[in-house]
Amino acid sequence: MNLFDYARPTTVEEAIAAWAPGASYLAGGTNLVDLMKTGVMQPGKLIDLNRLAGLDRIESLANGDTRVGALVRNADLAHDAGFARAFPMVAEALLSGASGQLRNAATVGGNLMQRTRCAYFQDAHSACNRRTPGAGCDARGGDNATMAVLGWSDSCIATNPSDFGVALAALDAVVEVEGPQGSREIAFADFHLLPGQTPDRETALAQGELVVAVRLPAASAQLRHHSRYLKLRERTSYAFALVSAAAALRLEDGHIVEARLALGAVAARPWRANDAEALLIGQTPSDELFKRAADVALTGATPSGDNAHKIELARRTAARALALAAIGTPKRMPAFPASLFGEHAHV
Amino acid sequence: MSDTRPPASRFGSNSGQSFTRRDGIAKVTGTATFAADNHPDGLLYAVYVPATIARGRVSHLDVAAAKAHPGVAEVITPANRPMLDGDPESKGFMFAFRFEALQDNTVRYANQPIALVLGETLEAATEGARLLNPQYEALPARVGLNGDTPYKVEVGSFGRPGQTVYGDVAAGHAAAVQSVDLTYETPEQYHNAMETHAVVAEWQGDHVTLDMPNQAIVMSRGAYGYYFGIPPENVLIRSPYLGGGFGSKAIPNGPTVLAILAARMTGRPVKLMLRRDQMFGPVGHRGATRQRLRLGIDAGAKMTVLDHESLATTSTFDDFVESAANASQGLYAAGALRSAQYGVRVDAGTPGPMRAPGEASGSAALECAIDEMAEKAGLDPLEFRLRNYAETEPGTGLPYSSKALRECYLRGAERFGWSKRPMQPGQMRDEAGMLVGWGMGTALFHAPMFAAKARAVLRPDGTGLVETAAADMGQGAWTALAQIAADSLGLPLDQVEFRSGSSDLPDGGVAGGSGHTATAGGALHAAGSDAVRRLADIATADPASPLFGAGNAGVTARDGRFFVIDDDSRSESYADIIARAGGTEVVGTGSAARTPEDAGHHAMYSHGAVFAEVKVDPELYQMRVTRLVGAFAAGRIINPKLAESQLMGGMIWGISFALHEEARFDKRTGRIMNADFAGYHIPVNADVSGLEVITIHEDDAHVNALGIKGVGEIGVVGTVGAIGNAIRHATGHRIRRFPIRIEDLLHAALG
Ligand SMILES: Cc1cc2nc3c(=O)[nH]c(=O)nc-3n(C[C@H](O)[C@H](O)[C@H](O)COP(=O)(O)OP(=O)(O)OC[C@H]3O[C@@H](n4cnc5c(N)ncnc54)[C@H](O)[C@@H]3O)c2cc1C
Ligand code: SF4
């Protein structure tokens, strides 16, 4: 047996105190346990977060922000009526991910921290700079049709697979963290790191730091009437995104006064497209406008392998998501959330 | 649908009825015992170590580290592997495949077993396997259809011809007023039954008991006996339930043989169950194909030639080749007909039979090519197929034993609404703006019979017992075969005990080739009829019986009684007859097989027509099959519910083939990079909607005594092409590579 220590703290302080180099926090386990089975992750110690008190709550704060504890399950968050009303795009993104069983187990913190699905990362026998700095990158020149088209580097071309994260990126989420050095907040845009020469550094978390909550600002709820998540995938459900887009607008008198756009599965982080947003402000919605914005969003995109098609598909997905957002958030969650085959998927 | 079935599909009182599967409750409540559910005392867990290169040799294994791990009981490598009596490189029996069982350090494909670790726990064995930390001397891998030089296949899989020519092909090409010359590709696909391969092996002296899912229970005794140097009778295979087989559980493979060997070596029972990723290598798959189809037509749009070549990948050490070109035999009338198979050797495990082997890939290409030809001729795809309808088997001229394909076309088309199909592609949109396309394909599958035996007993209490070593892979053999047996015994289904799935029973034949119900059912029918005949002889010769003097042919069996024909008032129950005759049970035996004479006089096939509707996003090209109507004629249907499920399962497999399934190789290493269910896509429920199956009854006096053909594989055939054709019809783009992917349509659109 491959032995490891197992700790089951009941408070955040205990959890952080239990941390030592080589330890991993365990939440729903849907990603970590798989990777342990295949030998990709071999923590010397598991710190089980599931008994931590108070991290499973969705709260409205005095300033109007919404605070979601790191242990709230993906399914519980998506099905929380108040949350889904304020942030329907987040709920749609969550429900488009994985399967019902997985969403029941997966947590908010675990979702943000999930590792890339790069096949070479997930295979302990391939060379991977992200797993072993300096080892090389077998994805380059390999089977890489789904890899990054933005923000990649010579050392790593992997993407962040989360759907949830794309919606959070668009809505200016803030990640609350506690660690050996105390607590701090990280803007979502700064949370996931681009690979550069250090792809092994995936997030802004320092050693031993724990995600305790994700906060969504009250202002982002103002976008709820025009917000959509759209996910292109190889089957109708239960597939990671080929590309995806989260789009949200605030309209006044037929003009766009606020715009948010983030792309998924195109880079090592959920890709916020600030320049495209800027272009939209003050304009009246039109397909032509959204196509231009999407072009801007993909500025600088380059294939990292046999994946040039992803650039065009991301462009089209972004334009469609914006157009759908302009029409308005559907009153009810589509039967296939974020799918082209749900209702309300067309313009 | 089941309640509107014509009376013709009923014979006896059990067959023709939609009984729910008898093993269903046991399965959904978890009480059904699958192979790996067995835990004999003293069990050791085996984990096989898969090669992580595709070609080369193992240069080092850290056996000491693995052995030092607590709980590791034994490590088997080529250095200490005990001899096998039958050489795994030999072809010692019919259908023998060569395989790796640690005969040396050579690596011939990724995931090949290179060691076996035994542990007191699964965890210990798993960790021991990791600690072996194999080192290799790797050579460049050859993968894909361009991996090496093609060779001509003279004898194809299962002894079928590699090269078949009827008529003058050159003349057929020359006579064509219009023609097409098209190349299609299909990828490597790996069978992934829910239950991965498993075995629990336990030796007692020179006898071995194998709990394992097995599609060829009695035949496999001989195979395992061969490798271990013991007579077939010394091998007991228990396979009451299989969590799917699809062709991969009929043939011995390296990991399984090693586990059995390990049990003999250690003197302890050994369990091996493959991990999901280990399914991608040593247990067979469907090879990739590249198929060239050249079709020509005359002025009346009748085919002057149907010329089908297929190149398929196979391994470097055995010869199974997906005989895709054979799909063009037996179906369409054509002046000249050629099917030519070629193979290319790559560094992969040997392919094997995978649901509709040859037909699935071949039909995918053929049915698309037929549509391309129809389009060129300016004809509706159905009209074109009807013009080329074969009244007798093309080439041989043999009459069909039965062929209700025309009814399949017409009923299917009517149900689907085919007559409203616009000729031009890209004409239909739904209310949401999705492109809508309709396509069709013809399905053909041979209707074989293998050999089987059965035993039937009428017990003193009047109930029945029947026995045959059949295999229920989830298709419903426990139910359909019992229905046949009950009818042959003149008993209601719940009065018949059915024993099956164990090699100490009479040989039920192979559950494969879509011939199991016909074959095992035929044997059961013969055995039951034999028992009834014997009992009728006793009754009609007994002056004390009301049946006395009626003669064997003068009575009929029904509901556990004999009745004098035309005089229901004269009857007697089985129990009463047996009681008066001394209370001993009456035993009948039977067998079934097709004689060469029967086979020589008719062409025997199941037929079908599949109609598909797809929706495709006009800009993003995500695709979804929204409707599939399949009309199938497969002789007599024993259990409509189960048969429809089988046909639907086949059609869903067709969706998978058309849009999802594909092993993705790293061309540098020859390793499969998507060897799990997150990466190796098959349809999920959301991908399957609007599925309809119509069965069309055929009375067939020639296929076998019961008039049964098969339904296990034909659902796949025709469906793939129908979906490819529907995508063409929706988008105007013809994609000649399966699975059809979003980026293929994007590239086609961008030109
Ligand atoms: C078959 C399959 C399909 C999937 N499809 C999708 C999909 O379509 N879209 C999608 O978005 N996702 C998908 N997922 C991924 C899924 O969303 C993640 O596995 C899940 O969100 C991880 O959450 P968890 O709580 O189980 O994390 P765990 O597996 O417990 O942990 C994951 C990682 O996060 C770390 N971690 C967990 N909690 C914290 C914390 N509070 N602070 C710091 N670190 C922490 C762990 O140490 C570990 O490294 C899929 C997963 C599978 C297995
Ligand atoms: S792309 Fe990144 S994650 Fe994938 S193998 Fe290369 S370095 Fe590793």
Q: Which domains does chain B have, with CATH numbers?
A: 2-32+449-593 (3.30.365.10), 358-448+600-749 (3.30.365.10)
Ligand nearest to the CA of residue A229, numbered in listed order: 1
A78 lies in a domain? no
- Interface test mutation site (partner B, options A34, A236, A243, max chain B beta carbons within 10 A): A236
User: What mean pLDDT is reported for chain B?
Assistant: 96
pLDDT value of residue B226: 98
Indicate the pairing of strand B151-152 with strand B336-345.
Answer: antiparallel
Distance from CA of B720 to the nearest CA of A (A): 16
Average pLDDT over residues B122-134: 96
B516-540 helix and B477-489 helix, angle to the nearest 10 degrees: 20
Look up the domain containing A271 and give its range.
223-327
Does A161 contact ligand 1 (Cβ within 6 A)?
yes
pLDDT value of residue B7: 41
Q: Which atom of ligand 1 is nearest to the CA of A93?
A: 11
Q: From CA B477, how far away is CA B157, in angstroms rounded? A: 26
Residue B593 has pLDDT above 80, yes or no: yes
More confidently predicted of B95 and B398: B398
A281 lies in a domain? yes
Residue B298 has pLDDT above 90, yes or no: yes
Average pLDDT over residues A112-116: 98
B9 pLDDT band, cuts 50/70/90, is very low
Q: From CA A291, how far away is CA A288, in angstroms rounded? A: 5
Cα dihedral angle (A282, A286, A290, A296), rounded to 10 degrees? -60
Average pLDDT over residues A38-55: 96
Q: How far is CA B157 from CA A190, A218, B140, B232, B445, in A?
A: 58, 67, 28, 25, 16
Contact B703, A253 (CB under 8 A): no
Indicate the pairing of strand A45-48 with strand B270-273.
Answer: unpaired
Coil vs helix vs strand at B389:
strand
What residue in A sits closest to B680 (Cα-Cα)?
Answer: A239
Tokens for B387? 């013009």
A346 pLDDT band, cuts 50/70/90, is low
Average pLDDT over residues B597-608: 93
Q: Which atom of ligand 2 is nearest to the CA of A136?
A: 7
Q: How far is CA A49 from CA A54, A66, A208, A213, B476, in A?
A: 11, 22, 13, 13, 46
Q: From CA B337, how far away is CA B293, in angstroms rounded? A: 11
Q: Which atom of ligand 1 is nearest to the CA of A34?
A: 53
Å from CA of A37 to ligand 1 middle: 15
A165 lies in a domain? no
Residue B441 has pLDDT above 60, yes or no: yes
CB atoms within 10 A of CB A183: 12
pLDDT in tens, B480-532: 999 999 999 999 999 999 999 999 999 999 999 999 999 999 999 999 999 99
Q: From CA B239, how far away is CA B198, in angstroms rounded? A: 11
A192 lies in a domain? no
Is B74 among the catalytic positions? Answer: no
Coarse DSSP helix, strand, coil percentages of chain B, rounded to the nearest 5 percent: 30, 25, 45
pLDDT value of residue B3: 39
Residues A312, B750: C-beta atoms closer than 8 Å:
yes
Average pLDDT over residues B334-340: 98
B147 pLDDT band, cuts 50/70/90, is confident
Does A129 contact ligand 2 (Cβ within 6 A)?
yes
Smallest CA-to-CA distance from B409 within B445, B381, B379, B436 is with: B381
pLDDT value of residue A22: 96
Please tell me the least confidently modeled range out of B17-26, B77-86, B740-749.
Answer: B17-26
Ligand nearest to the CA of residue A48, numbered in listed order: 1
A131 lies in a domain? no
pLDDT in tens, B169-184: 999 999 999 999 999 9
Cα angle B220, B221, B223; round to 5: 60
A85 lies in a domain? no
Say if pTM beats, i.e. exceeds, 0.95: yes
Average pLDDT over residues B542-563: 94
Does A148 contact ligand 2 (Cβ within 6 A)?
no
Distance from CA of B653 to the nearest CA of A (A): 14
A271 lies in a domain? yes
Q: From CA A263, how far away is CA A294, in angstroms rounded? A: 10
Residue B5 has pLDDT above 60, yes or no: no
Chain A contact set for B624 (CB, 8 A): 236, 341
pLDDT value of residue A345: 65
Å from CA of A71 to ligand 1 middle: 11
pLDDT value of residue B468: 98
Sign of CA dihedral B613, B617, B619, B621: negative
What residue in A sits closest to B66 (Cα-Cα)?
Answer: A1
Smallest CA-to-CA distance from A234 within B730, B626, B689, B680 is with: B680
pLDDT value of residue A347: 58
Tokens for B673? 């990079």
Residue B6 has pLDDT above 50, yes or no: no
Residues B746, A313: C-beta atoms closer than 8 Å:
yes
Q: What is the largest CA-CA distance in chain B?
A: 88
Sign of CA dihedral A329, A332, A337, A342: negative
Ligand nearest to the CA of residue A128, numbered in listed order: 2
| Closest residue by CA, ligand 1 atom 16 | A111
pLDDT in tens, A291-314: 999 999 999 999 999 999 999 999
User: What mean pLDDT is reported for chain A?
Assistant: 97
Residues 6+ apart with CB under 8 A from B435: B426, B428, B429, B615, B616, B617, B618, B730, B731
Residues A143, B686: C-beta atoms closer than 8 Å:
no
A14 lies in a domain? yes
Q: What is the CATH number of the domain that holds A38?
A: 3.30.43.10
pLDDT value of residue B453: 98
CB atoms within 10 A of CB B496: 23
pLDDT value of residue B596: 84
Residues A232, B746: C-beta atoms closer than 8 Å:
no
Residue A1 has pLDDT above 80, yes or no: no
pLDDT value of residue B515: 95
Residues A232, B742: C-beta atoms closer than 8 Å:
yes
B737 pLDDT band, cuts 50/70/90, is very high
B12 pLDDT band, cuts 50/70/90, is low
Instruction: Indicate left, alpha or beta for B267 from its phi (over 0: left) and psi (-120 to 50: alpha).
Output: left
Which of the 8 DSSP states describes residue A149? S
Q: From CA A269, how far away is CA A145, in angstroms rounded? A: 18
Q: What is the CATH number of the domain that holds A299?
A: 3.30.390.50
Cα dihedral angle (A27, A28, A30, A35), rounded to 10 degrees? 20
Tally of domains in chain A: 2
Percent of chain B past pLDDT 70, that is, above it, reads: 98
pLDDT in tens, B198-228: 999 999 999 999 999 999 999 999 999 999 9
